[in-house]
Amino acid sequence: MRRASYDENSVRPDNKKASDWKVIANLLPYLWAFKWRVGLALTCLIAAKVANLGVPILLKALIDAMSVPLGVEAVLVVPVSLILAYGLLRLSASIFTELRELLFSRVTESAVRTVALKVFEHLHALSLRFHLSRQTGGMTRDIERGTRGIQSLISYSLYSIIPTIVELCLVLGYFIWAYNYLFAVITLIALVLYVIYTIVVTEWRTQYRRKMNELDSKANQRAIDSLINFETVKYFGNEQYESKRYDENLHRYREAAIKSQRSLALLNAGQQTIIAVGLILILWLATQGVSDGVMTLGDLVLVNVLMIQLYIPLNFLGVIYREIKQALTDMDRMFSLLGTNQEIADDPNASDLSIANQSLGPRVIFDQVSFSYEPARGIIKNISFEVSPGQTTAVVGHSGAGKSTLARLLFRFYDVTDGAIYLDHQNIKSVTQKSLRQAIGIVPQDTVLFNDTVAHNIAYGRPGATQEQVESAARLAQIHEFIMSLPDGYQTTVGERGLKLSGGEKQRVAIARTLLKNPSLLIFDEATSALDSETERAIQKELIALAQNRSTLIIAHRLSTIIHAHQILVMDDGCIIERGTHEELLAYGGRYAEMWRVQQSQIELIS
């Protein structure tokens, strides 16, 4: 069995460059799908930079052409073509830049969409164990920051880093071709020092950014957890307690943010010092050239403009580098979700589940099944039983006996530790999870609804169902009249986790949802536990009719709801200690008979 590590704060490899390049390698396939657009965008980028270099060169020609004796008409010495070319080059640089952004926008947004969808689908494919060990708020924040990181990485790389590198190569080449090689040497040395200083200091201060991210996620998780459990907070009057816990995280975040800002000030000061020294040396060299007569005033202006053009984007290199590093970190966290192995995965040769008789349902066999959530604590211990097609099997027992775990194993939320489960003699490990879960319907004990309309929650059992089918299922679940009494009817929003409905109303919606799905195998996990006695009796009749001639597994606490079952299994500490019909078990006088007497006496006391 493949198991994943679910520690969301797991330590990354020490080799940061290898990690960064790996993240980039993970992203490249999504960009390569648009290789022609990428190629055209890069062509426009180079064209824009060539035009950008040509602008100051033409400006130099104009200045040199204007260096004439007083009284000579400017139109005689300044060719009109130079002025027109100057304007056209400026225009073309802007046009090529806009074309580059236009071409690449589809690439960026498509990559973000594809990756986000793939991560979302992968999270749904991971096991229940994974989701129980993670906090949803932190995961959604990781996905949000990861997709934003893709946009940042592409944006900064295509619009800042690559253009600066292209422009640097063009400027250095022009300096070597047109002037003393010392211009290129000074420029290159200053840039190398600038880049090294930026990388070293940024790497040092990344620890503060990482700490800020972790504290931000924790604060977000705590806030979401508190708001999701809004009722519990109110029950115990713990609003101030929750605010204090939230503020503790915000305080730690503030301290980390202050340290990050201090290190940023140090980085900016050092960068500006290196740029200033480089500019002074270049201008001093150019001034000497003019004094010696080997350079013109136009050359002096050209060198100054080229250096300014080159250093302006460098002013933001520290910010860009930090943002790229942050984007890579965020993307790494998102791709780590994508790289998490599925604990419960389909076999490569898995086929769809085949039900021999759809009208009766499958034969369910638990063959010497054992299971444990943790190695030291067994939940199911070598149990075997069979649910015949078209018959109902009920499972009863005290809380913690392992009853609900049977349903989770049938759905393959977990794989059995030992033994096997068969549906129509097909090991559920050998069939696809999609086909397996499509064949099973469940009404769970704890019903959770989507924050959407009543109609949407019922239709979730069969996406695409008609309004008539939804209403028919609601009538069978004895909830149609209640829905129609609501101001918005079936379009009423049920709220977060269905909090606007009572426990009984939520459970009836869940029953309607399962009725609409019309599965081959039915599982009722304490399906009527939240209903009042009158409603329970009415719905129980419908459930019995629904289970008639259909394979059904009922997990029950109230024994009065399962006296019709063809087989009743009594569980205790993960083992089946009794089995038989209601009458047989009462006659046997064991644990079931004792539970029956206790519940009947409670009913008599209430009445």
> 191-222: per-residue pLDDT in tens?
888 888 888 887 787 777 777 878 887 788 88
Instruction: Give yes or no for a contact between 129 and 414, defined as CB atoms under 8 angstroms apart.
Output: yes
Q: Is the pLDDT of residue 12 over 50?
A: no
Mean pLDDT of the chain: 79
Q: Compute the distance between CA of residue 581 and CA of residue 588 in angstroms, rounded to an integer.
A: 10
* pLDDT tens digits for range 36-57: 877 887 888 888 888 877 778 7
Strand partners, 524: 443, 554
Q: What is the Cα 345 distance to its own chain's centre?
A: 20
Q: Tell me how long the chain is.
A: 607
Q: Which tokens hold the place of 342?
A: 């599925």
* pLDDT tens digits for range 113-156: 778 777 777 777 676 666 655 655 567 777 777 778 787 787 77
**Greater model confidence, 382 or 49:** 382
**Greater model confidence, 1 or 303:** 303
Among 176-180, 387-391, 464-468, the range scoring the smallest mean pLDDT is 176-180
pLDDT attached to residue 400: 77
Return the CATH superfamily for domain 365-439+553-559+567-607. Answer: P-loop containing nucleotide triphosphate hydrolases (3.40.50.300)
Q: Compute the distance between CA of residue 488 and CA of residue 495 in angstroms, rounded to an integer.
A: 14
Q: Which tokens hold the place of 228?
A: 């999701």
**CB under 8 Å to 217, separation ≥6 — which residues?**
137, 138, 141, 142
**Greater model confidence, 569 or 222:** 569
Residue 111 binned pLDDT confidence (cut-offs 50, 70, 90): confident
pLDDT attached to residue 535: 64
Residue ranges of the domains in the chain?
A: 20-338, 365-439+553-559+567-607
Phi, psi of 344 (to 5 degrees): -110, 105
pLDDT attached to residue 407: 87
Tell me which residue has tokens 């993960």.
Answer: 574
Sheet holding 440-443, edge to edge: 440-443, 521-525, 551-555, 392-397, 567-572, 575-580
Q: Is 315 helix (H, G, I), strand (E, B) or coil?
A: coil
pTM of the model: 0.60
pLDDT attached to residue 580: 92
State the sign of the Cα–Cα–Cα–Cα dihedral 244, 247, 251, 256. Answer: positive
**CB under 8 Å to 43, separation ≥6 — which residues?**
none
DSSP H stretches of helix in 229-296: 230-235, 239-291
* pLDDT tens digits for range 483-508: 998 888 889 888 777 778 877 788 88
Q: Compute the distance between CA of residue 551 and CA of residue 392 in angstroms, rounded to an integer.
A: 6
Fold of 20-338: ABC transporter transmembrane region fold (1.20.1560)
